[in-house]
Amino acid sequence: MSVGKFNRELDLPSSGRVTIKGPFDPQDSRVESAKILFLIVQGDGATTLTADGEGTWNKPSDEWSGTIELTGKHPGGGTGPFVYGRARGIALSIVTKPGKVLDDGEFDPPAFEALTWCANFKFVDPNAASAT
């Protein structure tokens, strides 16, 4: 079974798209890539923001990545910007496990494997480290 996570801190730029990423290990050396769908949630109640994104992982990297817009959607309509601080990521990855020929000569076809994970992380200022 694969293992996926979100990085504990992710840069929140002042413009452009936000890169979301984290460790990924398919735990099967035959797997070459993964497709990852994810949601980012920040805030509470009517001020909650959500954004969905798509990412990928490709061998030999040990990290997946994808992007979202700087703004999310409110549950009652409208949009707002993500801000520095706590957020939650929810992800689903799909990998294709290659088929193989079994000892009896039969072909065991490829199979999909899905994994979900969620975790809190923190949006941080990418310029904060250079300011000190």
Q: How confident is the model at residue 1 (pLDDT cuts 50, 70, 90)?
A: low
Q: How confident is the model at residue 2 (pLDDT cuts 50, 70, 90)?
A: confident
Domain borders along the chain are 3-127
Question: Average of pLDDT values for 48-56?
Answer: 97
Question: Average of pLDDT values for 106-115?
Answer: 94
pLDDT score for 130: 53
Q: Assess whether pLDDT exceeds 50 at residue 109.
A: yes
What is the residue-averaged pLDDT of the chain?
A: 93
Question: Average of pLDDT values for 47-56?
Answer: 96
| Nearest C-alpha neighbor of 34 from the set 12, 3, 9 | 3
Q: What is the C-alpha to C-alpha distance for residues 21 and 96, in angstroms, rounded to an integer?
A: 20
% of the chain residues with pLDDT over 70: 96
Per-residue pLDDT tens digits for 21-49: 999 999 889 999 999 999 999 999 999 99
- CATH fold, domain 3-127, is Immunoglobulin-like (2.60.40)
pLDDT score for 132: 44
% of the chain residues with pLDDT over 90: 89
